[in-house]
Amino acid sequence: MDPSKITIPPMMDLTDSNITSNVNIINSQSPNKRLQYLITTLVTHLHDFARETRLTSEEWMAAIQFLTAVGQKCDDIRQEFILLSDTLGLSVLVDGMNHPKPPGATEGTVLGPFHTHDAQHFEIGEDICSPGKGEPMLVLCTVKDTAGKPLEGVTVDVWETDDTGHYDTQYPGRTTPDCRGVLESNDEGFWFKCVKPVPYPIPSDGPVGKMLSALHRHCYRPAHLHFKFKKAGYDELVTALYPRGDPYETSDAVFGVKSSLIVDIETLSDSTMAEKYSMKVGDHLLKWDFVLTTDMESEELKNRLAKQALETLGSTAKLENGVPVASE
Burial class (CB in 10 A: 0-12, 13-18, 19+), 77: middle
Helices (H) and strands (E) in the chain, counts: 8, 13
Q: Does 85 bind its own copies (CB under 8 A)?
A: yes
Residue 229: DSSP 8-state: E
Binding mask 259-298 for its own copies (x = CB under 8 A): xx--------------------------------------
Q: Fill in the amino acid letter for 61.
A: M
Window 96 to 115, contacts with its own copies (CB under 8 A): 96-99
Query: Which of residues 7, 57, 175, 272 is near its own copies by CB under 8 A?
Result: 57
Query: Which of residues 4, 5, 7, 54 is near its own copies by CB under 8 A?
Result: 54
Query: Which of residues 2, 7, 172, 214 is near its own copies by CB under 8 A?
Result: 214
Query: Do 33 and 6 contact (CB within 8 A), yes or no?
Result: no
157 CB-side CA count, 13 A? 16
**Residue whose CB is less far from its own copies, 29 or 267:** 29
Query: Which of residues 266, 281, 309, 327 is near its own copies by CB under 8 A?
Result: 309
Query: Do 46 and 74 contact (CB within 8 A), yes or no?
Result: no
Query: Which of residues 137, 194, 257, 292 is near its own copies by CB under 8 A?
Result: 257
Residue 77: DSSP 8-state: S
Contacts of 211 (CB under 8 A, 6+ apart): 66, 84, 87
Q: Does 95 bind its own copies (CB under 8 A)?
A: yes
Q: Does 4 bind its own copies (CB under 8 A)?
A: no
105 CB-side CA count, 13 A? 23
Helices (H), ranges, the chain: 19-26, 33-53, 57-73, 80-87, 90-98, 207-214, 271-276, 295-313
Q: Does 205 bind its own copies (CB under 8 A)?
A: no
Window 6 to 45, contacts with its own copies (CB under 8 A): 8-16, 19-20, 22-23, 26-27, 29-30, 32, 35, 37-39, 41-43, 45
**Residue whose CB is less far from its own copies, 80 or 178:** 80
> Could you tell me the smallest distance in angstroms from the CB atom of residue 209 to its own copies?
15
Q: Does 210 bind its own copies (CB under 8 A)?
A: no
Q: Does 227 bind its own copies (CB under 8 A)?
A: no
Q: Does 48 bind its own copies (CB under 8 A)?
A: yes
**Residue whose CB is less far from its own copies, 152 or 236:** 236
Q: Does 306 bind its own copies (CB under 8 A)?
A: yes
> Could you tell me the smallest distance in angstroms from the CB atom of residue 291 to its own copies?
18
- Alpha-carbon gap, residue 27 to 25, rounded angstroms: 5
SS3 182: strand
Query: Which of residues 125, 296, 313, 327 is near its own copies by CB under 8 A?
Result: 313
Question: For residue 191, which of 151, 130, 138 has the smallest C-alpha distance?
Answer: 138
Query: Do 164 and 124 contact (CB within 8 A), yes or no?
Result: no
List Cα–Cα distances, 275 to 155, 279, 310, in angstroms. Answer: 27, 6, 55
Number of residues that bind its own copies (CB under 8 A): 86
Query: Which of residues 2, 33, 47, 148 is near its own copies by CB under 8 A?
Result: 47
**Residue whose CB is less far from its own copies, 143 or 257:** 257
Q: Does 89 bind its own copies (CB under 8 A)?
A: yes
**Torsion angle, alpha carbons of 315, 319, 322, 326, to 10:** -90
Query: Which of residues 4, 53, 272, 316 is near its own copies by CB under 8 A?
Result: 53
> Could you tell me the smallest distance in angstroms from the CB atom of residue 91 to its own copies?
8
